[in-house]
Amino acid sequence: MKISKVCELLRAEQICGEGDREVSGGYAGDFLSNCMGKAVSDGVWLTVMNNVNVAAVAVLCEVGAVVLCEGVRPSPELEQKCRDQGIFLLSTPFDVFQSCGLLYPELK
């Protein structure tokens, strides 16, 4: 699935990221140490964490996109780090549970 489709399904704003990359699979979680071991390469990572460490984990795990749920906006540091690293960063009004439900049929 393309990032543009993720944005459409989640009514998400694309804050950072160039182009329209392909993503598949996903992980939902806020404990960064868990995400480091379980996030899916080229997948979507759903979280409410908005600090700069999210970018480091996204790069380490090679996730396709980070989706901030519940209308969370990135901290200025996170947004800048994502821009610098070329990370797709999205924000959706849906909570994590709703977001997973909307994406699962398309990304399983």
pTM as predicted: 0.95
- Contact criterion met (CB below 8 Å) for 47 and 69: yes
Q: Is the dihedral of CA 7, 35, 76, 84 positive or negative?
A: negative
Instruction: With a cut of 80, say whether residue 23 has pLDDT above it.
Output: yes
CATH number for the region 3-107 comes to: 3.40.1390.20
pLDDT band, very low/low/confident/very high, at 108 (cuts 50, 70, 90): confident
Q: Summarize pLDDT for 30-76 with one digit per residue, the tens.
A: 999 999 999 999 999 999 999 999 999 999 999 999 999 999 999 99
- Which residue ranges make up each domain of the chain? 3-107
What is the reported pLDDT for 107? 87
